[in-house]
Structure 1
Amino acid sequence: MKKSIKRRLLTNFVLIIISMVVILELLFINTVKGNYYKNLEQNMLNQIKISSDLYLKYFSDSSLYENVLNNVDTYWKQTTAQVQIIDLNGRVIMDSIGSSPKNIRDYSDVALALKGETGTLIGKSDNYSEEVMSVSYPLNSSHEQVGVIRFVTSLKEINNDIRNITFIFISIGGLAILLGIAVIFILTKTITGPLNEVTKVAAIMASGNFKVKSKKFYEDEIGKLSDTLNYLSEEILTKEELKNDFISSVSHELRTPLTSIKGWAITLKEFNNDKDMLIDGLDIIEKESDRLTGMVEELLDFSKFVSGKITLHNRKVNIENLIEHIKKQYIPRANRENIKFTVEYNDIPNIVCDDNRLKQVFINLLDNAFKFTPNGGEVKFLANIENNNIIFKVLDTGCGISPEDLPKVKEKFFKGKNSNSKNGIGLSICDEIISMMNGSFIIESKLSEGTTVIVSIPITEER
């Protein structure tokens, strides 16, 4: 499906905006989440250090088990979190909510605290339906560690706050995306609008109306294109005027001697007895005829200069090698366009011809065959000998040529009704080249069925 520039620009810019907004949203949300968790961890760490210092200062003269039995309330008065006291074997000897595994030494935060370090863990807990954060800290008596104190708190409220902030960020991001799309739509319109104007004017010019002007919107590349298009139309109009002036001038110049010749012919016919007048009249007719001949020669020279003259450089050519070269040239295109391309030949002799011009003919014919054959179609290039002639055939299963267009396809600048048809002289040049090789050029076609082009080149040692 063909996409317009406006659609492509909108799609690409919207994808860029959405990607940027999503990346920024993720960055902001993760930053907020990290800050919330970091603050909670710091608060819990401050509280747990107070409890640890309290134990060291007031209860270190008794064993851990005695302190838990006699001063159990002291540890959770400092915090609203769940409090656990753990011995050096990782067993829980006191829990403020009374429901914990007996041994939790495998928890990463507890394992660090048993080594004398501070440990933090975020994850699921058997006592909570949501995520929790736990902080473990060593309990010391005198100069040795006697256990671990652990605070565990739910992240439910913090996660709710983070979700609310996330919703706000997403809402802001959505509004930013909508605003960005609106701005991009306006900016895209400022690009595609002038482009559509230029395209419209170009289409009008293509129909032959070169008096139309392209409106210039901005001083940018499209504005420059508009200026170029207007300059082109002016140049074409100028050249058209020059051509018309040239034709008018030539017609006038041709009419002048013709009028003079005709006038003197009538005069001499009526007054043929006046010898002096007869001599003068014939003299004028001769001079005017010479002048007319000179002008015609100039026109012929001008025509040759404009159209060019095709010449052949003949030599002995290996036709099979030429066919193989063309085959290798078109196989990639056939594969690319999903067209079955078949080349068949058998014992083709060498002939004297211009191999470059002959290759030009085949390339032009095959190019047309591929151009008008849809994907999944077939193109054949065949060569065989018939009656001392090499018969080349290019067959395709394309759209074909309508009966009214078929007789005209060899004419210069003829454009068919098919959308792929182009003004050109390709087939007319092929016809001229084949004629110079004393060959024949036949085109057979049926609409919606395909086309067959037959080129016949006589086998000869000289040309």
Structure 2
Amino acid sequence: MVSIKKRLVVNFVFIIIITVVILEIFLISSIRQYYYKNLEGTLQNQIQISADLYHRYFSDATLQDNILNNVDTFWKQATAQVEIIDMEGRVLMDSIGVTPGTANQFEDVKRALAGETGKWIGDVDYDTEKVMAISYPLYSGEMQVGVLRFIASLRDVNKDIVRIAYVFIAFGALVTLITGIVSIFLANTITGSLKEVTTIAEKMALGDYYTESKKKNNDEIGKLSDILNSMAKEIVKKEQLKNDFISSVSHELRTPLTSIKGWAITLKQDFEDRSILMDGLEIIEKESDRLTLMVEELLDFSKFVSGKVTLEIKPVDLVKVLQHIKTQLTPRAIREQVDFKVITDKFPMIYTDENRLKQVFINLLDNAFKFTASGGTITMDAKQEDESIIILIQDTGCGIPIEELPKIKEKFYKGKSSKSQNGIGLSISDEIIKMMDGSLDIQSQVEKGTIIKITLPLREVV
């Protein structure tokens, strides 16, 4: 595995090398142009002085006569090789003794024959280095009589350029070395924090959720530390809720099972007292119903967690649903001496899952009955507001402490009241309402009661 530190250092050094190489190419190219430009300027000044000298003092004689009598005047004033070319392109004189020939194949000579100053850089047979040639027209009066050509070897210029290039390359290598070392320290500042966060994450992966990642900087790594700490706290919280849930479910399962087993042993004694027999069977039936309800809630919860629950959406007459709920729970209200009211209005059909909606209502009302003492009131009021249906379930029970309200809909959460059960029912109800594209909100005051507000859309859930 290639470490992030190594990748960072390699990337840093690669970027530095590319930058230095581009910069050095630009600088060396600029130096080369500067030196060539200086040489070109020097040759042009010298050749122009020589051409002006010819025009002023030697133009009365022919070009051939001046070559024979005054040629020293041209090359003794110049450091470059001097050639004199006639209008036919023939080399009449060369200061270094090169065999005369034709020179009209060179670009600088062609331009000079046309009356302009010409420049050419290229290879010649008598030198291993490139040369620079400047050609200038010679005039006798108003008439051009030939071309004066100065040729300079680029050997010394190229040596100076190479020497400067070596200096630049050495400096670039030094810069690359220094910045490479600096990049290692910079990489350490990044990978050091990452290594610490990775160590903490490994501890959390092994189950140590109480360890904490220390945030050093307010950057992405600092944000990662915050996320790890938040995740660990959430896991600890869920773990505690799960343990509480298991403890609660175990206790609640043990109670009906103990009753069922106790009465089963009693009935095995073959009592002839029919009243005792009926009492025992009735208790076994009720406790079995309690077990069935708990198992159904657990199965529902498992389906919601795994995402296997789907709603059967169809038009539902909410008024009929509420009337059914009233009919179903009125006997319980009478038995427990609670004033149970259901207030409805005329509503259009809503699109939802009727059975799941009944499940929610029965679950919420069951909680209301559990926490409302005899003589209390439970009201279920449904009304339409704009494009929504609002159902309010209000009781005059013991209420919920303010510190428990934010947690009351969490999975596995069980309130401190002795009547609180496994904490699944309210969580399932909230999930069902969310799937119906609605909301479930709870308001409560201790000793005053609780109000549950369910909001459902009239439109069809997509």
Q: TM-score range by the shorter chain?
A: 0.5 to 0.7
Residue 229 (str. 1) matches residue 232 (str. 2): no
> Partner amino acid for 1:305?
F
> Partner amino acid for 1:154?
S
- Aligned residue in 1 for 2:415: none
SS at 2:135's partner residue? strand
Q: Percent identity?
A: 52
Unaligned runs of 5+ in 2: 311-462
SS at 1:38's partner residue? helix
Residue 297 (str. 1) matches residue 293 (str. 2): yes
> Partner amino acid for 2:302?
V
- Aligned residue in 2 for 1:74: 73
- Aligned residue in 2 for 1:175: 174
- Aligned residue in 1 for 2:214: 215
- Aligned residue in 1 for 2:61: 62
Distance 1:298 1:65 in 2: 126
- Aligned residue in 1 for 2:98: 99
Q: Deviations over 1:49-95 (max 9, x none)?
A: 11001111111111111111111211112111111111111112122
Q: 1:231 to 1:289 in 2, by over 3 A?
A: farther
Q: How far has the Cα of 1:37 moved from its partner?
A: 0.4
Report the TM-score when normalising by structure 1: 0.59
Unaligned runs of 5+ in 1: 313-463
> Partner amino acid for 2:195?
N
Asked if 1 retains the 8 angstrom alpha-carbon contact of 2:8 and 2:187, the reply is yes
- Aligned residue in 1 for 2:110: 111
Residue 245 (str. 1) matches residue 244 (str. 2): yes
Q: 1:173 to 1:159 in 2, by over 3 A?
A: same
Distance 2:204 2:292 in 1: 34
SS at 1:98's partner residue? coil
Asked if 2 retains the 8 angstrom alpha-carbon contact of 1:87 and 1:93, the reply is yes
SS at 1:22's partner residue? helix
- Aligned residue in 2 for 1:193: 192
Q: How far has the Cα of 1:263 moved from its partner?
A: 7.5
Q: 1:14 to 1:176 in 2, by over 3 A?
A: same
Q: 1:11 to 1:101 in 2, by over 3 A?
A: farther
Asked if 1 retains the 8 angstrom alpha-carbon contact of 2:112 and 2:147, the reply is yes
- Aligned residue in 1 for 2:82: 83
Q: Deviations over 1:16-72 (max 9, x none)?
A: 322222111111111110010001100110011110011111111111111111112
SS at 1:185's partner residue? helix
SS at 2:123's partner residue? strand
- Aligned residue in 1 for 2:322: none
Q: How far has the Cα of 1:242 moved from its partner?
A: 0.7
- Aligned residue in 2 for 1:29: 28
Q: Which has the larger radius of gyration?
A: 2
Q: How far has the Cα of 1:127 moved from its partner?
A: 2.5
> Partner amino acid for 1:23?
I
Asked if 1 retains the 8 angstrom alpha-carbon contact of 2:263 and 2:284, the reply is no
SS at 1:75's partner residue? helix
Aligned CA-pair RMSD: 3.2
Distance 1:69 1:60 in 2: 14
- Aligned residue in 2 for 1:330: none
Distance 1:148 1:36 in 2: 25
Q: 1:187 to 1:303 in 2, by over 3 A?
A: farther
Asked if 1 retains the 8 angstrom alpha-carbon contact of 2:257 and 2:287, the reply is no
